[in-house]
Amino acid sequence: MERRSAVVWSCLLGVGLTLALPPACPFNSSKADPRLPQLIGCVFLHRYNVTCRWEAGDTPTTDYTLQVHLMLALQSSFFHQAVRVLISSSVLLRPKKQHTFTCTTSDTSCTARLDGTSVNFCFCITITAHSHNQNITSHPRCQSGRTEVMLSPVTLKSSQSVNGRPRCLNLTWSYILSDFPLAGSEIKTGDLKSQIEFVAQGQFSAQVETVNVTNKSFLVCLFRPDTLYTVRLRHRYMGPESPWSPWSNACQGRTGEDAPSAAPAFWRRVKQTDKNGWRFISLLWKPLPRFLSNGRVLFFNVTCQTESAQVLTDYGSCKDLHHTNTSCSLLLPPGRWSCALTASNSAGTSPEARIWLRGASETEPPAPRQMTANPLDDSGLDVRWTAPVDWSTGGFVVDWFAVREKNGSILYWERLNSSCTALVITEGIKPMERYAVSVKALYGERGAGQNTTVHIYTRQGGT
């Protein structure tokens, strides 16, 4: 605000207020003065033109003339001396040079060419309303052209990831010096206001955010990791009187990877138990969605241990798990065990998902109640249940398979949080097929409870 006030005062000093401007209407003692045209605002295009809008006055008008008077800009070193001269002598300074750019219209807006004149100068703007018997000129408004300048669009040169900053992009931009009426020092001191528009790949609605730009290279940290963005940049000079520039060209950049932000959904299937209590276990998990993996998962890792931290030594097919794996199998000795799963990418490792398996002598917690399953159509089942009474659950697992494929071990499953007591299942569902659908409640370190199972056809074709 102080910088803008200094510019306005500098203009007024250089202009000498109304000096050399067209006169207002003459004094008429018999009538009230007519309301003059009122300037609404202007838009200056550096070295090109200025467009102004105004409200009509009271007098019927045939047309209007917009007059934009160029005043010689005072040097900043002369400013304080000029103030002293004004105060001591009460004499208005006369500009050494002036020029007027005009246009005439019957409308209430008009564009006058600036003929290559920089907006860094001061201008006084008036509107003259012409009628059949008189001309009425508005009071002048004097200001730097930059107050209402629309800056030219800049060039966005690059949008690059930042090492160790997966939510950031470093943007680099440039401009043509002759088209941009701001010095580099003014950009550094914050006279430039800026916004970016960005949209992630696969999305249609763009976001616009204000950013702080004090250099031709700047950091923006508004993004998701490992995501391709299309970005554009625009500026305006200082305050709201200056309109936003057109958007720059679009530039693409991908943010860096971050460690996965969530554990994979994890489950198990006990395939068989021998007479000594050894169990053949299948561990199952789902790939992390892109917004949680924060990059390309490279591998999974499984570890199993007892309550006393005894670690399993033979992991069967659960060793060296590739990013494409979604299951593995191993033998667990008798007793109480837990197994943990993590996913890793180039930036780090996810939180662990853990499941617990009880020993043979432990009592299973209760199963969900009032379970129902109903066919929706040929390829969907609606499953509902009620949580066990007087038990706190950590969630539920719904699993299902086609009965005739039981020996093929094609098991589908979904893990849900404790607030969910219904699920529409469509994965692996075919018409005229009989399915076994089970729901188990999860009880934290106590493991999964007893299961409730129903058999259901997608379309009633038998019993």
| CATH of residue 184 | 2.60.40.10
pLDDT digits (tens, 9 = 90+) for 375-410: 988 889 999 999 998 888 999 999 999 988 655 558
Token look-up 């007027």 returns 100
User: Which pLDDT value is given to residue 13?
Assistant: 52
Mean pLDDT throughout 128-154? 92
H-type alpha helices, 199-303: 290-293
Q: How crowded is the C-beta side of 312, counted as CA atoms within 13 Å?
A: 22
| 234: in domain | yes
Q: Say yes or no: 231 and 213 in one domain.
A: yes
Residue 10 — very low, low, confident or very high, per pLDDT cuts 50/70/90?
Answer: low
Token look-up 């043979």 returns 360
Mean pLDDT estimate for the chain: 86
Token look-up 């780090």 returns 348
Domain termination site, one of 148, 169, 191? 148
| 416: in domain | yes
How many domains does the chain contain in total? Answer: 4
Residue 455 — very low, low, confident or very high, per pLDDT cuts 50/70/90?
Answer: very high
462 has pLDDT over 50: no
17 has pLDDT over 80: no
Q: Say yes or no: 39 and 101 in one domain.
A: yes
Q: Say yes or no: 6 and 144 in one domain.
A: yes
| 181: in domain | yes
Q: How crowded is the C-beta side of 105, counted as CA atoms within 13 Å?
A: 16
| 132: in domain | yes
Q: Say yes or no: 210 and 133 in one domain.
A: no
| 442: in domain | yes
| Domain with 105 in it | 2-148
| 463: in domain | no
Domain termination site, one of 306, 331, 357? 357
User: Which pLDDT value is given to residue 140?
Assistant: 94
Q: How crowded is the C-beta side of 300, counted as CA atoms within 13 Å?
A: 29
Q: Say yes or no: 95 and 200 in one domain.
A: no
Q: Say yes or no: 23 and 104 in one domain.
A: yes
Structure tokens belonging to residue 112 = 């006058």
Distance CA 329, CA 281 (A): 6
Q: Which amino acid is at 448?
A: A
Q: Say yes or no: 144 and 165 in one domain.
A: no
Structure tokens belonging to residue 260 = 């996965």
Q: Say yes or no: 192 and 164 in one domain.
A: yes
230 has pLDDT over 90: yes
Q: Say yes or no: 159 and 140 in one domain.
A: no
Q: Say yes or no: 8 and 137 in one domain.
A: yes
98 has pLDDT over 60: no
Query: Contact at 8 Å (CB) between 266 and 173?
Result: no
pLDDT digits (tens, 9 = 90+) for 271-316: 877 778 888 999 999 999 999 999 999 999 999 998 888 899 899 9
pLDDT digits (tens, 9 = 90+) for 159-204: 999 999 999 999 999 999 888 998 888 899 888 999 999 999 999 9
Structure tokens belonging to residue 201 = 């790949």
The beta strand positions in 346-442, using DSSP E, are 348-349, 353-357, 369-377, 380-386, 395-402, 412-416, 422-425, 434-442
pTM: predicted TM-score of the whole model, two decimal places = 0.78
Q: Say yes or no: 113 and 15 in one domain.
A: yes
90 has pLDDT over 50: no
Domain termination site, one of 89, 117, 148? 148
User: Which pLDDT value is given to residue 275?
Assistant: 75
| 364: in domain | no
User: Which pLDDT value is given to residue 408?
Assistant: 53
| 187: in domain | yes
% helix / strand / coil in the chain, to the nearest 5? 10, 45, 45
Q: Say yes or no: 14 and 138 in one domain.
A: yes
